[in-house]
Each structure stands twice: as C-alpha cells, then as structure tokens.
Copies of this chain bind each other. A is one copy, B any other.
Amino acid sequence: MTIKEYYAPTHVYFGKGAEDKAGEVLKKEGATKVLVHFGTGSVKKSGLLDRVEENIKAAGIDFVELGGVVPNPRVSLVREGIELYKSEGCDYILSVGGGSVLDSAKAIGYGVYGGGDVWDFYCGKRVPEGIAPIGCILTLSATGSEMSDSSVITNDETDPIYKRGCNNDLGRIRFSLLNPELTYTVSKYQTASGSVDIMMHTLERFFHSGHTLELTDKLSFALLKEVIRWTPVALEKPDDYEARANLMWCGSLSHNGLMAAGNATLGDWACHQIEHELSAEYDVAHGAGLSAIWGSWARYVLDVDRDRFAKLGEGVFGESDPIRAIEKFEAFFKSIDMPTDIKGLGLDFDEAACKNAALGVTFQDARTLGDFKVLNTEDICNIYMMASGLK
C-alpha cells in the first residue's frame, strides 16, 4: 500500500473581521514590504483594499500594489509581478481576492524564488524548490486555493492558449484570512459556479482506484450535503452569514487534502482537465464548465464501479440507484442555474470541435487522464460528444 501524505499547514483565521488581522499576522511573519495582489477592481470599489492597506501600514509594513488579475489568470501578469516584487524589494505577497488572484500570487512566488521562465513550473519542465511567502484575504468560496497545493495559470502568450496547473506542497500558503462576509457581494452566478467547484474537488477525490478510508467517504458526504444545503440559501439571501460561512469552510476543506486522506490515490481529476480545455479557450467560469461536463463523465465511467456511484448517491441524497444518483447531482446543478451540458455554456460544439478539444486535453494524444477510469483521446472525445448532445 502506498503511504499517503496529508499536509495542510496553512494557518487559517476564520470569522467576521478576519481581514483586520493582516497587519498583525504579516508582522509576526517578519514581512517588511508586501506585494499586494488583486483583481480588476471589485476590492477597490468595495473599499476592502483601502482598509487592508491601512491595516498593513498601521503595522509599520510597506507595500506595493499589483492589480489586474482576471479569471483564468494570465502568465503575462505573473511575469510583471515577478519583476515588480524583485525591483521593489518585497519579501511577502498578500493576495486579496478569489482563487484566480491567489493562483497568480503563487505563480509569482514560484517565479521569484526559482528564476528563469516561470511557465516551466506549469508545463512540467521544472519542479519548484521554493516559493516566496504568501498570505491571502479570500473574497470568493470556490477554488480552495487558500489551503491547497494547487495553482492554475493560463498562458496567453501562445496560440492555442494553454491552461496548466502546478501542484506542489510549497504552494500551500502561510496564512489565510477567511471572512465569510467578504463573499456577500459575490454574484449569484459566481456563487453557484463556486459551489460546483467546491463539490467537484470532493467528487474528483471520491472517484479513485484502490483502497478507500471509510472515514474519508463519510466526511465527503457531510461536506457535499452542506454545500447542497447552503448554496440555495446564499443565492436567496446573499448576506446570510451561516450560508456564506459554511460554503467558505467547505471550499477550504474540499481541496486541502482531507477528502482524499488515507485513500490509495489522490483521485480521478479527469473532469478538471476536460474542463480546463473549455475555460482556457472560451473563458467560461470553471465551476460552470465542470457542471456541464460531470454528468457525461459520470455516465461514461459508471460501469467501472456502479457501487461507488450508489454509495455516493446514498450518502448524499439517500438515493442508491447509480443512474438516479447522477441525475440528483444534475438536478441540483440545474436548480442553482448551472449548466449540465456544453450548450448551457453558450457553446455550440460539433464533432470536429469535440475532437479538437480532446486532442488539446491529451496534448495531441501524448497522455491519458483519470484514475477511477483511465481515459484516452477517444474516451474524452466521447465525453465531449455526450456533453454536446451528439451521443
């Protein structure tokens, strides 16, 4: 049996006003000049950025700003961040925003430490050996990047565009300030898309080959049920603290490794790769893309282990028929206005588009995907076809 690691060292501060800890924690961490990294303006408009910067200043810490991160964050801005961090003599990065900002911050951290071309760490040419210290103030419950080892970056300098991840324990950031109130202003669509992403981080781990630790299955069911319970509440009443708090903590625990602890492998993860191809090329919201793909993936791989689907359905919905279990998940996605096919993303895929996307996912037939079921280019094309109503 493989020895499984569980390592989630991020120091979490959770609750109303958590962001006001920024200066204190950064000082304790020994930061003297901080690169404050953020997105395209909402943290400015809301006044959050000003408050945070005041807080840092009051702790006697200098800072420099780099905004402009977009969803599916770009390597071009990462390069800018690396230069800025170095030229300004920064010694810490503070990400203020959602997962895209944080993933961009991690990439800057790798680049600062590792020198050379930062994209090397994302296309698999080099493995990071260090990272600049990073903390975050989270404004979106979704990617789990605030406790995970993951960072996903899009290379906008190539044609076609590539979206690639770097998973490394160094990417588990030093601290995360989690105030659920900061997610009150997240739109309905982004809230729902975030919830799908949270669920998928657990579902990807749930479907794996080999030995399963029962406790991990049961924790997974508990987490999925809370996402399903609280997402409609947050959609109905965006400033419901209980809903936002539960979704936020679900997001962190779903992707910090807990939901694969003691299992034989880290999970399947084919859906994530199949989706990345869509969101890189068409800039769809990651969660919406996952929701559009998952049901087709599930039906395609179902026969590998129908009992696994039955157990999931029973644990989450009290529904032990595997097909009806898949339908329950899709019904939930629909109920929060998430798509369950590619058309629902506003995309019209024909067979050629499916083939092309499948070849993109497998790097032109150079790799397979998945662990619950290993998928080749043809399998993936079939899944795209199913999700496009062509099969």
Name A's B-contacting residues (CB within 8 A). 1-9, 11-18, 21, 213-216, 218-219, 221-223, 225-226, 229-230, 242, 245-246, 249-250, 253, 258, 261-262
Contacts and interface: CB of A to CB of B under 8 A. Distances in A.
A221 B215 CA distance: 11
Contacts of A219: 219, 222-223
Contact of A11 (B5, B15, B216, B226): B5
The complex is assembled from copies of this chain, and their number is 2
A246 B213 contact: yes
A221 B18 CA distance: 27
Contacts of A262: 14-15, 245, 249
Contacts of A15: 1-4, 262
Contacts of A16: 1, 3
B13 A1 contact: no
A215 B14 contact: no
A249 B213 contact: yes
Contacts of A226: 214-215, 218
A221 B218 CA distance: 9
Contacts of A1: 15-17
Given A3-B21, A17-B3, A214 B12 contact: no
Contacts of A17: 1, 3
A1 B20 CA distance: 13
A213 B14 CA distance: 11
B215 A246 contact: yes
A230 B214 CA distance: 10
Given A9-B11, A249-B261, 16 more contacts: A1-B15, A1-B16, A1-B17, A4-B15, A5-B14, A7-B12, A214-B226, A214-B229, A214-B230, A214-B242, A215-B223, A215-B246, A215-B249, A215-B250, A218-B226, A221-B222
- Shortest Cβ-Cβ A-B pairs, 9 listed: A9-B9, A218-B222, A6-B12, A3-B15, A1-B16, A7-B11, A215-B226, A222-B222, A4-B14
